[in-house]
Amino acid sequence: MVPMGIRYYAYTWPAEDIDQVLRNPGAALSVDPFADAWLTPPDEQPDMLYLDKMWPDFQQLTASDGREHPRPCHRMFEGEVSYCADEGWSCWHPWIRAIAPDETGVIARDLAALTDAEITARFGTGNTSESRFRNTRSTLCTYLDTARKFTERAAGQGRGLVYLIG
């Protein structure tokens, strides 16, 4: 179960900022990612990827299935929020990770290499009742296309990524 409010946001950052961003990944995030995704007009949005609450499905799709290592692109989806000790589901600390520019191309190529057959093998053919995933295959594929375009653009520009689950 994904508690209300926990979403996935990723932004790009220039390669020349690598020391600063790897030291403090949060510095490359927007002050208000939700506003960037929902309230900012599309032509004014920063270069970002918004996966809403699809991130657990992307984790499942790209994680190890017990016979193999996670896909290289899993690196941009792994992570969990940590919950506050006494407040349970209502209080959490986000997961934030920076991905260096040289890794962005690897991730972009791996996302592009995900085939329909692999998605079907991990996800199933259609509805969530036959699957361990939360959303439909159609929704997953729509977000996957967006993630592919985002990482391809970032890799082509030599940029790193920083993402937040929270």
* Average pLDDT, consecutive stretches of 10 residues, N- to C-terminus, the chain (166 residues): 77 97 96 94 93 92 85 95 74 93 97 90 63 74 96 98 96
Among residues 155, 122, 121, 123, the alpha carbon closest in space to that of 139 is found at 123
Amino acid at 121: A
The pLDDT value given to residue 74: 96
Domain-wise residue ranges, the chain? 8-165
The pLDDT value given to residue 26: 95
How far is residue 99's CA from residue 90's CA, in Å, rounded to a whole number?
28
The pLDDT value given to residue 4: 62
Specify the CATH number of the domain 8-165: 3.40.1760
How far is residue 138's CA from residue 99's CA, in Å, rounded to a whole number?
28
The pLDDT value given to residue 129: 47
- 3-class SS of residue 110: helix
Q: To 10 degrees, the CA torsion angle through 137, 108, 117, 70?
A: -90
The pLDDT value given to residue 132: 60
The pLDDT value given to residue 110: 97
Please tell me the pTM assigned to this model.
0.87
The pLDDT value given to residue 1: 47
